[in-house]
């Protein structure tokens, strides 16, 4: 049909087989659905606040839902934090969150290790 030499046919068959094996391996890997490890610790483990150890909430970037993951922060306080940011701009330090209505020293002490300002 194509009038190929014996060596050319062998190379063509080899390449077709290699392609088929590669596609089969790719299909097999996709079907296994093996999760990819993205960090050195298990992000599914959560502490009592519902936040994974080592993870912090950036109070300048977090939306209200993310803010409510902090212990003692409900929808009203999360809204107050968002409103403070919109009126005064980004927080310059985590201590500044105490200026938000409803966040006193006691609540600040509960969340200070879980928040960052970046």
Supply the pTM of this predicted model.
0.56
- The encoded tokens of residue 26 equal 């790719």
CB-based contacts of 67: which residues, under 8 Å, 6+ apart?
Answer: 57, 59, 73, 77, 78, 81, 82
* pLDDT beyond 90 at 19: no
- The encoded tokens of residue 97 equal 């969150």
* pLDDT beyond 60 at 33: no
The rounded percent of the chain whose pLDDT value lies above 90 is: 51
Topology of domain 57-116 in CATH is DNA polymerase; domain 1 (1.10.150)
**8 A C-beta contact, residue 66 and residue 57:** yes
Region 37-65 average pLDDT: 64
* pLDDT beyond 80 at 100: yes
Q: Write down the pLDDT at residue 48.
A: 55
Band (pLDDT 50/70/90 cuts) for residue 42 is very low
Distance between CA 77 and CA 22 in Å, rounded?
54
* pLDDT beyond 90 at 6: no
The rounded percent of the chain whose pLDDT value lies above 70 is: 75
* pLDDT beyond 90 at 107: yes
Dihedral of alpha carbons 54, 59, 61, 63, sign: positive
User: Which regions of 1-118 does DSSP assign to beta strands (E)?
Assistant: 57-58, 115-116
Distance between CA 59 and CA 114 in Å, rounded?
10
Region 89-105 average pLDDT: 95
- Strand pairing partners for 58? 116
Q: 38 or 90: which carries more pLDDT confidence?
A: 90
């Amino acid at each position: 049909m194509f009038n190929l030499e014996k060596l050319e046919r062998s190379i063509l068959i080899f390449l077709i087989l290699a392609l088929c094996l590669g596609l089969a391996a790719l299909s097999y890997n996709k079907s296994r659905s093996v999760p990819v490890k993205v960090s050195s610790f298990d992000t599914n483990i959560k502490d009592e606040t519902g936040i994974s150890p080592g993870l912090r909430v950036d109070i300048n970037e977090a939306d209200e839902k993310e803010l409510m993951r902090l212990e003692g922060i409900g929808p009203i306080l999360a809204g107050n934090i968002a409103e403070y940011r919109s009126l005064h701009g980004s927080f310059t330090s985590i201590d500044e969150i105490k200026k938000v209505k409803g966040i006193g020293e006691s609540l600040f002490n509960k969340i200070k290790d879980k928040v960052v300002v970046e």
